[in-house]
Amino acid sequence: MINETLIRVRYAETDQMGVVYHSNYFIWFEIGRTEFFRTLGMEYKELEMREILVPVVDVGCKYKISAKYDDELIIKTRLKELTSVKLKFEYEIVRKKDESLLATGYTIHAFVSKELRPVNFKKKYRDIWDKLDQNIKEE
């Protein structure tokens, strides 16, 4: 499954030239990831209530074309990899009006307890695991 989330570039996200500042792409990845979970019928806070955290352990972004103030953007989010201790999301940021690919990226997350110890997510949270496993995007 590829989840698509629509956002609009705000003035505060740009520099003096109206170009989006690079760190905002990582915020958009988080927005896409949060909405991905919502489409599965769960929220991050549900994971936290079940005492599981999913910190970012690796992240990357390749910039292709600048996003600018007031552009409507589509954040395309897919779950690419899932193991018992981590998951990897991939992202595409696309300008809606001309479907230009602006950036690609990824985030890798560990499954950890509130004490920041690794958790075997597949074993401990099988119900959520099954939802995630059914939505892995293979190429």
Give phi and psi for 79, each to the nearest 5. -85, 115
Give phi and psi for 90, each to the nearest 5. -120, 150
CA distances from 101 to 49, 57, 74, 118 (A): 36, 25, 10, 35
Which of the following is catalytic: 15, 58, 70, 130? Answer: 15
Active site residue 127: no
Q: Is the C-alpha dihedral spanning 14, 19, 23, 24 positive or negative?
A: positive
Residues annotated as catalytic are: 15
